[in-house]
């Protein structure tokens, strides 16, 4: 999946004359906002040492073979929005018992959707997307672009490109719940 994101971004940049830094994700501002979001999640015990646990369920690529998903509200930089936290566990074949016995040892990534303020990107319902490594640093695609912001917007691959196919027009696969009801 990462290779497809890089290839698609490179093709879009080449076609428009834009540079990779002009992509709709991975900027310094995106990284700074993602760092604020991580700090909020640590304080709320959604990530990091002592994080709350749920019962993992079977997942699939690109997220993980076992997943935990949390739906909540959070305030980041003065804005309160819906926050979806997905912990992505592996490797392939990992069992629920193995994840419950050693969650840190099996955590591959934490993927986030946070609904930012109106006007951030109304076309995508203002979702901010992030893929963190277990230590809270940002994951990067093979081109070195940080995976934070509007990842996959206008592309054939990536978070937005995939999630725009979710039912209910809310970009959420695990529920057709109206995002407004989470407010």
Residues 108-159 have pLDDT tens digits of 999 999 999 999 999 989 999 999 999 999 999 888 999 999 888 888 877 7
Q: Give Cα separations from 122 to 40, 93, 95, 105, 116 (angstroms).
A: 24, 39, 39, 38, 10
pLDDT at 98: 95
Q: Give the predicted TM-score (pTM) of the model.
A: 0.82
Structure confidence at residue 82 (pLDDT): 95
Query: Percentages helix, strand, coil for the chain, rounded to the nearest 5?
Result: 30, 25, 45
Burial, 161: exposed, middle or buried (Cβ in 10 Å; 0-12, 13-18, 19+)?
Answer: middle
Q: What is the pLDDT of residue 4?
A: 36
Q: Which of 73, 161, 151 is nearest to 109 (CA)?
A: 151
Domain ranges, ordered by start, for the chain? 2-182
Do the beta carbons of residue 180 and residue 169 sit within 8 Å? no
Residue 180 is predicted with a pLDDT of 44
| pLDDT under 50: residue ranges of the chain | 1-19, 179-181, 183
pLDDT of residue 64: 84
């Amino acid at each position: 999946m990462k290779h497809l994101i890089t290839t698609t971004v490179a093709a879009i940049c080449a076609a428009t004359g834009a540079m990779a830094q002009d992509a709709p994700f991975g900027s310094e501002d995106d990284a700074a906002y993602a760092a604020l979001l991580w700090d909020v999640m640590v304080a709320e015990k959604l990530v990091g040492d002592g994080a709350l646990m749920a019962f993992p369920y079977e997942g699939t690529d690109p997220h993980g073979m076992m997943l935990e998903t949390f739906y909540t509200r959070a305030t980041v930089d003065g804005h309160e929005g819906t926050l979806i936290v997905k912990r992505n566990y592996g490797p392939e074949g990992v069992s629920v018992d193995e994840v419950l016995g050693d969650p840190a040892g099996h955590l591959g990534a934490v993927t986030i959707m946070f609904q930012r303020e109106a006007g951030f990107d109304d076309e995508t319902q203002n979702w901010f997307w992030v893929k963190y490594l277990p230590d809270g640093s940002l994951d990067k695609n093979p081109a070195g672009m940080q995976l934070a912001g509007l990842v996959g917007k206008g592309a054939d691959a990536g978070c937005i490109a995939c999630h725009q196919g979710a039912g209910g027009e809310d970009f959420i696969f695990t529920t057709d719940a109206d995002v407004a009801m989470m407010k």
